[in-house]
Structure 1
Amino acid sequence: MSQHHTARRRAAALALAAVVALALTACSTPAAPGDDSSGPPPGVTDTTVTIGAHTPLTGPAAAGYASISAAASAYFAYLNAQGGVHGREIEYIVKDDGYNPATTQTVVRELVQEDEVFAIVNGLGTPTHTAVLDYLNQNEVPDLFVASGSTNWNQPDKYPFTYGFNADYVVEGAALAQYAADTAPGKKVCLLGQDDDFGDELIEGAELALGADGLTHVERYSVSNQDVTAQIGALKAAGCEINLLATINGFTALAIGTAAQFGWFPQWFSSSSGADYPTLVGYLGEDVGPKLLQGFTGTNYLPALGGDDEWVSLFREINDEYNDGAPFDGNTIYGMSVAYLFAEALEAAGEDPTRQSLLDAVASGDLAGNGILPLSFSSDTHAAYLGVGISQVDQGVQDYVGATYAIEGGDVVEVDATPVPLSGEGVPGS
């Protein structure tokens, strides 16, 4: 797929989202933009800061992602028990959008206009968040740490209130393809991807590493159709040996399971958005999941589930105490990591935070996060991570293999990981 076609698809999707958002704004009473200098900003009292998120608690993406907001809530409960941030507890309102963009528009409007949240934090999904991107920026609501690797979030001039969290899909596609080229030269590399920016940008990254004709075959799917038999059959017929996946967890499992039914067992290389091992085993079943996932390769930029990192140990303790003993997986680490980053930004925003001071804190470049690479936020860059590590499953343990890639000057290069150490028991400012 050409970069021209990719850009054209992205422009069309954003244009449609803008039209819908403008219509939504026109038919409702807009929230007061920015901060009111005569009083505290929306969502801030002497004792609380209220933030909100949209996420799929039901629908096709729920099983893969509902645990993220639960983990973030658990971290905030832990943080509040330590005194919160500058003496304020964080109240986190999570609303279900079912991974449906139309529902996302409704629940985000409720969060902004009825719940009067200080910020939207970690709204999940490429098609879903695209549908509210213009609305949030027009109403000057901080739109922080979007749970998607779309490059749409990294447009400071067009969307000054929006910052991403995930490593972007171009970076992930480039890293996966480069790792395939480095470790299995000559093998046929193919791609199965969601039919939106997720798939487009993973293709763009893969072609950056492999060249415009480097992918042997590409197949696309829609999340509204949970049957990829035709796509898997076409990949098999093309002789694919390594399949890159721009898939959410449910479709990663669906692809691997469908291939196994064909008696076909290629190598699978997945974006971090669909690479959580415990979640995939949950879909595939304890009997066959571990066998089908042996050697499964993914990307990551946060502490690894299978590692002995201090962050992971802390998050396990928080999960046990504040998350009703929920299963601990990569989504747990993700949810607590993004919650910690918001707490760090809020602490840096000062004792009397405003929406502008919160945005200034993120843009300052001083936030550390807890990733394996430094955060990239600045006034010019609204992307969090510009590189990723490669993870692999071995005997049921998912951990880094020691290869970390970034895009520098248009080239895919291997870089050294520099994990951020745990400090202050995971409580910013302590």
Structure 2
Amino acid sequence: MQVFRSPPSRSLLRTSAVLLLAATTAFTAQAQKRYDTGATDTTIKIGHLVPYSGPVSAYGTIGKSASAWFDKVNAEGGINGRKVEFVSLDDAYTPSKTVEQARKLVEQDEVLLLFGALGTAHNMAIRRYMNAKKVPQLFVATGATRFGDPKGFAWTMGWQPTYQAEGQIYAEHILKTKPDGKIAILMQNDDFGKDYLKGFLDGLGAKAKTMVVAQSTYEVTDPTIDSQMVNLKSSGADVFFSITTPKFAAQAIRKAADIGWKPTQYLSSVSVSVTSVMKPAGFENAQGVISANYLRDPSDERWKNTKEFDDYKAFMAKYYATGDMTDSLNVLGYSSAQTLEYVLRKAGDNLTRENIMKIAANMSFTLPMLYPGIEVKTSADDFYPIERMQLLRFAGTRYEPFGPVLGR
């Protein structure tokens, strides 16, 4: 006996087609999502290291402002619907502690990447480990030239202008304005200081041998640099290059005034903070100090009533009210965190470590609190995101820019 079956109705066919399409779409969407350790449908876990304690604890505010930025991001819906879990640990500016804390972040906390670790020796101490683990060591908070080596260390990238480039900028200015000057140098005795010194001496060229009349170093654990300053003054130098971190920069400026030494002073940009350096040194002692920066000074009246500054001010008031809005270190945390947000947003649903490095190596954009004419730009063979700087001179209670933006 034959059994005749009626063909399926058109409505049933349509329903089946819709269900099939929905299932295919869902499968495709799910297939497009790619995650490495530290990323899920709902979260992105970021590791961060900064000295909240120790001799350069002034830098701790960088971590607080960066963390506050991601609080803002999360309050506004996160990054592509994912909340950022920002795990910021204290390494006390001690390389051995940096190693310990980096291992904890990677192996125990299982972060997707390490962001903004501060210090030259400190990032050097973990660079091989991070590259062996193939975990991004992104936007390190040091200008050491060695953190832009995509062939040798493809998982490590700098952020700020290099110390060597900055040192060359000061040397160029001295050669133009004081070609017969006698230069004294105070330098932190580590990779940070040596990198600045190399750029500075390279910039002076053959004249370095005759112009540099005195050099002195200090250890980051030293209580003061008073004796070094007295010795440098006795050299008869009329130019002083202070390659120092904030605590010692403030001491050097104050001591120069106390002993009646009045050279033209150049100060490394890592100590450009008015709050952490110039106030403790005494504004009256800091007049005329020359430095350079790539970030807008939040204490500079010229930026008031601009959208960029108003947005920064509103952010600080709402998300980091205990922080000092005029401290340029907070602008650093704010701006570097925005750079990381840019990379993570561009990554979309492909939150693999490889894809994050690919995006970080293909950036071209600007940030609100960068000086006009300075941008964030990288390529596969250029791991130096910011390469230009603006010369500044301290006057009154703030820095004033002068001359053109310099650098590549």
Q: 8 Å contact 1:345–1:367 — kept in the other structure?
A: no
How far has the Cα of 1:367 moved from its partner?
Answer: 4.3
Alignment of 1:159-308 (within 5 A): 159-211=153-205, 212-213=208-209, 214-284=211-281, 289-305=282-298, 306=300, 307-308=302-303
% of aligned pairs identical?
Answer: 29
Partner of 2:395: 394
How far has the Cα of 1:103 moved from its partner?
Answer: 0.7
Distance 1:38 1:353 in 2: 8
Partner of 1:333: 331
Partner of 2:381: 380
Matched residue type, 2:136: P
Aligned pair 1:157/2:158, yes or no?
no
Q: Please give the per-residue CA displacement for 1:208-233, whole angstroms capped at 9, x wherever unaligned.
A: 22224242322221112122123212
Partner of 2:115: 121
Q: 8 Å contact 2:389–2:405 — kept in the other structure?
A: yes
Q: 8 Å contact 2:239–2:265 — kept in the other structure?
A: yes
The equivalent position to 2:47 in structure 1, one of 31, 46, 52, is 52
Q: Please give the per-residue CA displacement for 1:121-160, whole angstroms capped at 9, x wherever unaligned.
A: 1000111111111111110011100000111211111110
Matched residue type, 2:292: T
Using the TM superposition, name which of 250-259 and 274-283 deviates more: 274-283
Aligned pair 1:315/2:315, yes or no?
no
Distance 1:261 1:361 in 2: 51
How far has the Cα of 1:282 moved from its partner?
Answer: 4.4
3-state SS, counterpart of residue 406 of structure 2: strand
3-state SS, counterpart of residue 87 of structure 2: strand
Q: 8 Å contact 1:349–1:360 — kept in the other structure?
A: no
3-state SS, counterpart of residue 217 of structure 1: strand
How far has the Cα of 1:38 moved from its partner?
Answer: 10
Aligned pair 1:111/2:109, yes or no?
no
The equivalent position to 2:343 in structure 1, one of 325, 330, 345, is 345
Task: Call closer, same or farther: CA 1:170–1:39 in 2, change over 3 Å.
Answer: closer
Q: Please give the per-residue CA displacement for 1:314-346, whole angstroms capped at 9, x wherever unaligned.
A: 112111110123212100100000000000011
Matched residue type, 2:237: C
How far has the Cα of 1:39 moved from its partner?
Answer: 6.5
How far has the Cα of 1:390 moved from its partner?
Answer: 0.8
Distance 2:113 2:252 in 1: 36
Distance 1:76 1:39 in 2: 22
Matched residue type, 1:292: N
Between the two proteins, the alignment pairs up a number of residues equal to 366
Q: 8 Å contact 2:47–2:105 — kept in the other structure?
A: yes
Q: 8 Å contact 1:300–1:388 — kept in the other structure?
A: yes
Q: 8 Å contact 1:192–1:218 — kept in the other structure?
A: yes
Task: Call closer, same or farther: CA 1:55–1:89 in 2, change over 3 Å.
Answer: same
Partner of 1:361: 359
Distance 2:152 2:44 in 1: 27
Distance 1:57 1:338 in 2: 18
How far has the Cα of 1:244 moved from its partner?
Answer: 1.3
User: If the length of structure 2 is used for normalisation, what is the TM-score?
Assistant: 0.85
Matched residue type, 1:187: G
Q: 8 Å contact 2:362–2:377 — kept in the other structure?
A: no
Q: 8 Å contact 1:56–1:124 — kept in the other structure?
A: yes
Q: 8 Å contact 1:295–1:392 — kept in the other structure?
A: yes
3-state SS, counterpart of residue 163 of structure 1: coil
How far has the Cα of 1:190 moved from its partner?
Answer: 2.5
Alignment of 1:20-99 (within 5 A): 40-63=35-58, 65-99=59-93
Distance 1:404 1:241 in 2: 26
How far has the Cα of 1:40 moved from its partner?
Answer: 2.5
Q: 8 Å contact 2:224–2:248 — kept in the other structure?
A: no
Distance 1:40 1:124 in 2: 27
Matched residue type, 1:117: V
Q: 8 Å contact 2:273–2:328 — kept in the other structure?
A: yes
Task: Call closer, same or farther: CA 1:218–1:313 in 2, change over 3 Å.
Answer: farther
How far has the Cα of 1:357 moved from its partner?
Answer: 1.3
Q: 8 Å contact 1:137–1:161 — kept in the other structure?
A: yes
3-state SS, counterpart of residue 399 of structure 1: strand
Rg comparison, structure with higher value: 2
Distance 1:68 1:176 in 2: 25
Aligned-residue Cα RMSD (Å) equals 1.9
How far has the Cα of 1:108 moved from its partner?
Answer: 0.7
Matched residue type, 1:352: N
Matched residue type, 1:161: W
Distance 1:351 1:326 in 2: 34
How far has the Cα of 1:240 moved from its partner?
Answer: 1.6
Task: Call closer, same or farther: CA 1:208–1:353 in 2, change over 3 Å.
Answer: same
Displaced runs of 4 or more, over 4 A: none
Distance 1:381 1:361 in 2: 13
Q: 8 Å contact 1:190–1:218 — kept in the other structure?
A: yes
Q: 8 Å contact 1:303–1:311 — kept in the other structure?
A: no
Q: Structure 1: where are the runs of 5+ without partners? A: 1-36, 408-430
Q: 8 Å contact 1:275–1:298 — kept in the other structure?
A: yes
Distance 2:366 2:348 in 1: 17
Q: 8 Å contact 1:349–1:358 — kept in the other structure?
A: yes
Distance 1:215 1:89 in 2: 52
Alignment of 1:389-428 (within 5 A): 389-406=390-407
